[in-house]
Amino acid sequence: MTAHTMIADRTGLLADRRRRTLAYIGLSLMLVLGVVVAGTLATDAAQTTSLTDRNLSPSWEHVFGTDRLGRDMLARVLSGLRLSLVVGTTAAVISALIAVVLACAAAVGGRLVDRAVTWLVDLFLALPHLVLLILLAFALGGGTQAVIIAVAVTHWPTLTRVLRGKAAEVVSSDYVAVARSLGKGRGWIARRHLVPHLAGHFLVGTVLLFPHAILHEAALSFLGLGVDPAEPSIGVLLAESMRYLTAGAWWLAVLPGLCLLVVVKLVDTIGENCRVLLDPRSHHL
């Protein structure tokens, strides 16, 4: 086999993998958007009670069964997933923005700033993650805003470390040296060179942060430190189901939990495939 043939075969494999990756991303995005739309439409149905239909097991009329107040669990799960997606997305974006700002500051701010950022990253990574989340949510009084802040403040260190390494590579490049020789300041270099180069990694990092954010939101809501108990988030649904599991109402916990895992896996698939598109070398043929 000639070198030309080998290069052509490898190019074809890369193109085929790119098409598959784009198809996976498109399918996953469609499913996630479908959950958001369905959850929005199911908001009213999720709060509608029917005392004559209490604690019904899954059937054709109520696919996910009903809860202790006769509310349709499918509607509540869809509404809860929509809320979890909103909270998780907001927290992930804020956390990723913190990571970008710190990475840029470490790259252009000099040795002292770089050491300060490194110390902050090491400090947060050394702290027990879930304990810190619980303490922050408790100190902020609970609620949706407290969950977003707690998750955002605790999820940036790993991404900051990755972006800091990428930013250091850009700063050490020849074109940044030329920009400095032309008298360009640190802010200009960060805006014109660092941010564009980190944009792709920021997007992938945000998507990969989301599964952690949504799972920790569910955990805090399960412990009573998350969103308002009146809101049908997945964590609230799981917490409410605990008292009825011994009575055989398995659908109150199993079905919301499975749906949460499916949505998390879909978003994780989007992130992994975006990472492959950004850096094909990260995925073996």
Residues 186-191: what's their mean pLDDT?
74
Q: pLDDT per residue over 121-151, tens digit each?
A: 888 888 888 888 888 888 888 788 888 888 8
Mean pLDDT of 178-204: 77
Task: Tell me what the pLDDT averaged over the chain comes to.
Answer: 80
4-8, 79-83, 113-117, 231-235: segment of lowest average pLDDT: 4-8
- pLDDT score at 7: 53
Across 98-107, 226-235, 262-271, which has the greatest mean pLDDT? 98-107
93 touches 156 (CB < 8 A): no
Phi, psi of 217 (to 5 degrees): -60, -45
57-67 average pLDDT score: 84
List, in order of start, the domains of the chain with CATH numbers: 3-46+67-282 (1.10.3720.10)
| pLDDT-wise least confident of 10-19, 95-104, 171-180 | 10-19
For residue 98, the model assigns a pLDDT of 92
Please measure the distance between the N-terminal and C-terminal CA atoms of the chain and give it in whole angstroms.
Answer: 19
Identify the pLDDT of residue 285: 39
Q: Is residue 229 pLDDT above 80, yes or no?
A: no
What pLDDT is recorded for position 279?
63
- What is the pTM for the complete model shown? 0.80
The pLDDT of residue 8 is 52
Say how far residue 63 (Cα) sits from the centre of its chain.
28
